[in-house]
Structure 1
Amino acid sequence: MEIALEKSTETNASLKIKLSKSDYQPEVDKKLKDYGRRASIKGFRPGKVPPSLIQKMYGRSVLVEEINELLKNTVNNYIRDNKLQVVGDPLPDREQADAIDWDSQSEFEFIYNLGLASDFEVNFDALPPVPAYEIQAGEAELNSTIEELKTRFSGHSHADESAEGDMIYGELKQDANGEGEPFETKTALPTKQIAADELAKFIGLKKGDTVTFDIQKAFPDEKSRGLATGLKAEEAAGLEGEFTFTVDDVTRNEPAEIGQDFFDKVLGKDAVENEEQFREKVLEIIRSNYAREATTLQRIDIEQVLLDTISISLPDEFLKNWLLETNEGKITEAEVEEQYDAFARSVKLQLIKNKIASENEINVSYEDVLNATRSMVREQFGFYGEDEQMNQSIDKIAQQYLMDEKGNNYMQMYNRMSDDKVIELIKSKLTLEPRTISVDEFKELVSARQPQA
């Protein structure tokens, strides 16, 4: 076997592999003998089929199968042993492969095109400082959160007459006027869904009142028309003309009142005993949530610093072709162009993180993954406390989760933990500058980091 790497540019190369008969024939012969022992062919006793017939029937397919397996292992081993920074997958030269005569050739040459990332170094000393955000959440955020909670845990009351935001119950009708079947149904009209130009007709209605309206003007889109009529959106799409609605009842959301019942609904039974404790606990939760969001924002900043400071060149045209080939029929050339910058960014970032993990011997064990999954199960299912039976249940759920989706769940947890460890290492190497910001400033920073359409 001969293997040669030829680099045409810093990021493009071809791997040429020449195979002689001695590289593949022993394994081919071994498999054909096995076929001969197991073959059941009419006219021959088991194990007595002539080798020439086995060769004629299976020779070519076994040869192709063996050489493909040999090539796959050879390419992968060469990349690993020579520590090539390959991006995408090796792409075989289809034209050269199609020209092979499997029936007459005994020596073969194959070419694989490789995309390589350029060499780079990670120098932590060269990375600029990164902000360590502390988001100042105070009375304003506390009050607005409590108002939102009061709305979320609101009750219902019956109103004497309708106002904006109410739900109006009654009978909706449309006469047939000699054409088709008349429409009639008991329904509820959500005033929030009514078009602004038509809303005035539905304000101030009392029980027994009737209002006439054009259904397409009052409910311009199919979804709102479906909600108003109780029909599927596609069925409601064809409704048009004047309808009448006779009011049976009007209900209104009433914000929850501050009190023990409200405290229990929000925080759990008897978690707090009075409004002061409730406000303290809610503010603690708000600040905890913002602390997590600050950590996420810092992570985004760290990743951007890595990309801005560490220069990596990619084989752009190779990767675009690779994306088209591997997603044949599922993605267009225009879509590849549109999405390529984001894809290239993720590739560079992963290369940097992989190098940091390798150079700093960052590893994630199965026990690490299992422990993290156990914690996730506890949080999702609300398992608190420690006892043997509960721990066994948690273990069973966690292990089943990691085996589900053909092992993809395990890989997702593994990658997440590895990524977290790399980020924590980077943070320990960087200068973190404390920076106190308001909630509004935080929202502006997050907005500025959103990808532009």
Structure 2
Amino acid sequence: MNITKKDIDNLNAVLTVEISKDDYSDKVESILKNYRKNANIPGFRKGHVPMGMVKKQYGTAILVEEVNKLLQDNLHKYLTEEKLDVLGNPIPKNEKDVDWNEEDFTFEFDLGLAPQFDVDVKGKKAITHYKVVADDKMINNQVETIRKQYGKLIAKDTVEDGDEITGTFTLDEKDIDNPATFSTEDIKGKKQLKALKEAKIGDVVTLKTKGLFNDDHDNQKQLGVSHDDAHGLDIDVDFKVEEINTREMAELNQEFFDKLFGEGVVTSEEELKEKIKEDAEKQFAQQSDQKLLNDVVENLIENTKFDLPDEFLQRWIQVSGEKPMTEEEAKAEYERSEKGLRYQLIEGKIRNENEALQVSFDELKDHSKQMIKAQMAQFGNTNPSDEELDGIAARILSNEEEVKRMTEQLNTTKMLQYFKENAKLKEKEISYDDFIKEASK
């Protein structure tokens, strides 16, 4: 067997594979002899079928199968040994022209080659890393929300601002018969709110759904309609008032603090607010890090310039899936996936050039044990033994899907840390509301 490579340009090449009779004949003959021993053909005793008849019936199929095995095995071996960095898989050029009645065969394959490029992680323009802070307004609102959540419900006969109303929405024509509880603060429509405030327990109020709630999604939850129907819903529904309650907010005392955080962890309103701020900003940091990662990735894709074998990749997409695509479908799919492919190549180069970014088995094991400890702590087991952790971790690491998922998590964590240490960043302090506006741009 002989394999040669001819470069078309820097991104495209053709592999020619020459297979002679000597490469496959012994294997094909061996399989045919085995077929002859086991063939059941009317008129012949088992094992005495003429070889000519066996070859006529099975010879071509066996030849095709064995030659294809040789092709796949040796193509893979060649690409590995030559260290060719290819995109996609080799695409056969002349498979329809092969004459299987010949003894020697020549196959050609198109190759798409990965481009050569440099990655400048630092870049020229600084990328903003937001430090999201919980401001006084947010903290005070959270304190009020928690006090309401842990406060007492007091029954009432009439509705006032801030009250909770429980009842049932009905409309026979739309099959609406849905129990609901909401606050007057959830109501957007002034006329609807006025009608509810004038109602008493047992009254039935007709409400217009258009503009009823601050968020149209509440139509889905409170009226029991579909997500699609919830948006812009404009009908009249009946609402029977069954309960009216006001919430007496919980007192800011030690019993309340202990109920929230455990005995003695928080001892004053100031410490409560500091704890809320600390917990909130931990969550904000995760969101900020995700935006930073997205922004660095976008910046690298935009500023790392290299060409791709576009035509080859579109043809590969067209023929490589379970269901063949048209040229137009393949082109559209390529356009959708091109940015992802570009970053995959950029990230691969960064990882190959930085050994510390590789994920080791010990790191996977440590990561799985930390996850296990966190989960066990939720159920009250805060001090599991090393033997217990090792046993559970071993079971997790035997699951291929779990290993893949954890590897992706660690890869992302390592890349984020690498970008924090190497990219050109500028820190900006920002409120959560302003951060959300920035993130949605």
Asked if 1:409 corresponds to 2:402, the answer is yes
Partner of 1:98: 96
Alpha-carbon contact 1:130-1:298 (below 8 Å) kept: no
Q: Distance in 2 between matches of 1:445 and 1:51?
A: 77
Amino acid of the structure 2 residue aligned with 1:366? F
Amino acid of the structure 2 residue aligned with 1:97? E
Alpha-carbon contact 1:37-1:47 (below 8 Å) kept: yes
Asked if 1:358 corresponds to 2:356, the answer is no
SS of residue matched to 2:86? coil
Partner of 2:2: 2
Provide closer, same or farther for how the CA distance between residues 286 and 335 of structure 1 changes in structure 2, counting only shifts above 3 A.
farther
Cα shift at 1:71:
1.7
Partner of 1:20: 20
Q: Distance in 1 between matches of 2:335 and 2:79?
A: 26
Partner of 2:371: 376
Cα shift at 1:228:
5.3
TM-score by length of 1: 0.74
SS of residue matched to 1:106? coil
Alpha-carbon contact 1:167-1:188 (below 8 Å) kept: no
Partner of 1:439: 431
Amino acid of the structure 1 residue aligned with 2:313? L
Q: Distance in 1 between matches of 2:163 and 2:187?
A: 10
The percentage of counterpart residues that share the same residue type is 28
Provide closer, same or farther for how the CA distance between residues 173 and 370 of structure 1 changes in structure 2, counting only shifts above 3 A.
closer
Q: Distance in 2 between matches of 1:267 and 1:78?
A: 62
Q: Distance in 2 between matches of 1:263 and 1:23?
A: 80
Alpha-carbon contact 1:18-1:108 (below 8 Å) kept: yes
Aligned residues: 432
- Contiguous gaps of at least 5 residues in structure 1: 177-181, 449-453
Provide closer, same or farther for how the CA distance between residues 378 and 44 of structure 1 changes in structure 2, counting only shifts above 3 A.
farther
Amino acid of the structure 2 residue aligned with 1:367? D
- Contiguous gaps of at least 5 residues in structure 2: none
Amino acid of the structure 2 residue aligned with 1:417? L
Provide closer, same or farther for how the CA distance between residues 33 and 438 of structure 1 changes in structure 2, counting only shifts above 3 A.
same
Asked if 1:283 corresponds to 2:311, the answer is no
SS of residue matched to 2:109? strand
Alpha-carbon contact 2:134-2:431 (below 8 Å) kept: no
Provide closer, same or farther for how the CA distance between residues 15 and 380 of structure 1 changes in structure 2, counting only shifts above 3 A.
farther
Asked if 1:202 corresponds to 2:200, the answer is no
Alpha-carbon contact 1:6-1:13 (below 8 Å) kept: yes
Amino acid of the structure 2 residue aligned with 1:108? F
Provide closer, same or farther for how the CA distance between residues 59 and 171 of structure 1 changes in structure 2, counting only shifts above 3 A.
same
Amino acid of the structure 2 residue aligned with 1:280? E
Alpha-carbon contact 2:176-2:223 (below 8 Å) kept: no
Q: Distance in 2 between matches of 1:361 and 1:90?
A: 29
Partner of 1:29: 29
SS of residue matched to 1:313? coil
Alpha-carbon contact 2:119-2:346 (below 8 Å) kept: yes
Alpha-carbon contact 2:133-2:431 (below 8 Å) kept: yes
Asked if 1:146 corresponds to 2:139, the answer is no
Provide closer, same or farther for how the CA distance between residues 358 and 318 of structure 1 changes in structure 2, counting only shifts above 3 A.
same
Q: Deviations over 1:404-439 (max 9, x none)?
A: 4xx2332232244345445545655x3655534223
SS of residue matched to 2:114? coil
Cα shift at 1:211:
2.7
Q: Distance in 2 between matches of 1:359 and 1:297?
A: 25
Provide closer, same or farther for how the CA distance between residues 442 and 109 of structure 1 changes in structure 2, counting only shifts above 3 A.
same
Q: Distance in 1 between matches of 2:92 and 2:268?
A: 71
Partner of 1:107: 104
Provide closer, same or farther for how the CA distance between residues 398 and 92 of structure 1 changes in structure 2, counting only shifts above 3 A.
farther
Provide closer, same or farther for how the CA distance between residues 387 and 55 of structure 1 changes in structure 2, counting only shifts above 3 A.
same
Q: Deviations over 1:7-40 (max 9, x none)?
A: 3333222222221122222333344445556667
Q: What CA RMSD, in Å, does the superposition of the two structures yield over aligned residues?
A: 4.5
Amino acid of the structure 1 residue aligned with 2:179? T
SS of residue matched to 1:4? strand
Q: Distance in 2 between matches of 1:332 and 1:200?
A: 60
Asked if 1:299 corresponds to 2:296, the answer is no
Q: Distance in 2 between matches of 1:297 and 1:421?
A: 16
Provide closer, same or farther for how the CA distance between residues 264 and 320 of structure 1 changes in structure 2, counting only shifts above 3 A.
farther
Cα shift at 1:115:
1.9
Q: Deviations over 1:129-162 (max 9, x none)?
A: 7558462625424334434545666664433223
Q: Distance in 2 between matches of 1:323 and 1:218?
A: 49
Asked if 1:59 corresponds to 2:51, the answer is no
SS of residue matched to 2:131? strand
Provide closer, same or farther for how the CA distance between residues 258 and 367 of structure 1 changes in structure 2, counting only shifts above 3 A.
same
Partner of 1:70: 70
Amino acid of the structure 1 residue aligned with 2:406? M
SS of residue matched to 2:301? helix
Amino acid of the structure 1 residue aligned with 2:271? Q
TM-score by length of 2: 0.76
Q: Distance in 2 between matches of 1:173 and 1:387?
A: 53
Alpha-carbon contact 2:317-2:334 (below 8 Å) kept: no
Q: Distance in 1 between matches of 2:145 and 2:319?
A: 50
Alpha-carbon contact 1:128-1:305 (below 8 Å) kept: no
Amino acid of the structure 2 residue aligned with 1:188? A
Map 1:387-406 onto structure 2 (within 5 A). Answer: 387-388=384-385, 391-404=386-399
Amino acid of the structure 2 residue aligned with 1:378? K
Amino acid of the structure 1 residue aligned with 2:306? I
Cα shift at 1:206:
0.6
Alpha-carbon contact 1:133-1:435 (below 8 Å) kept: yes
Cα shift at 1:118:
1.8
Partner of 1:347: 341
Amino acid of the structure 2 residue aligned with 1:410? V
